[in-house]
Amino acid sequence: MFGYGKKNEEKNTELLELGNIRLNCRSGEKDTVIREVGRMLCESGCVDESYIEAMLRRELTFPTNIGNGIALPHGVEEAKKNIRRSGIAVMVFPDGTDWGGETVKLVIGIAGAGEEHLEILSVIAQCLADPDDVDRITRCSAKEIYTMFTGKGCSE
Partner residues linked to 71 by β-bridges? 65, 107
Residues annotated as catalytic are 74
d(CA 147, CA 34): 24
> Comparing C-alpha atoms, which of 125, 116, 108 is closest to residue 7?
116
Question: Residue 58 — φ and ψ, nearest 5°?
Answer: -60, -40
Residue 57 buriedness (CB in 10 A; 0-12 / 13-18 / 19+): middle
